[in-house]
Amino acid sequence: MVDRLWPRGLAKDEAHFDLWLKDVTPSNDLRKWYHSHPEEFAERYRTEIEGQGDALEELRAAGDIVTLLTARKEIAHSHLTVLLDVLST
């Protein structure tokens, strides 16, 4: 899962996934800042995530096919587009 906060309504003992990688998600400060500065978010998040080398390598090492789980409804307006771009480079 690539969300910093646990999804509402999902019990942890009922969740079936291998990794919860909070380190590849936006920091709490950046996540809160996003709402007032969405146009600058991608650049700041990219800088932040590139500093998380170990977490990125863990995600890359998970295999050729990795499913990223999120509770976000609007994926195009979230950190996932930046994360996918960073992972593909």
What are the domain boundaries of the chain? 12-88
Say which DSSP state 5 is in.
S
Question: Could you give the 3-state DSSP secondary structure of residue 86?
Answer: helix
Residue 2 and residue 4: Cα distance in Å, rounded? 7
DSSP 22: G
Structure tokens at 7: 């999804």
30-88 pLDDT tens trace = 988 887 787 788 899 999 998 888 888 888 888 778 888 888 888 888 889 899 988 88
Considering the entire predicted model, what is its pTM? 0.81
Pair of tokens at residue 72 = 């976000």
**Which residue in this structure is represented by tokens 């909070």?**
22
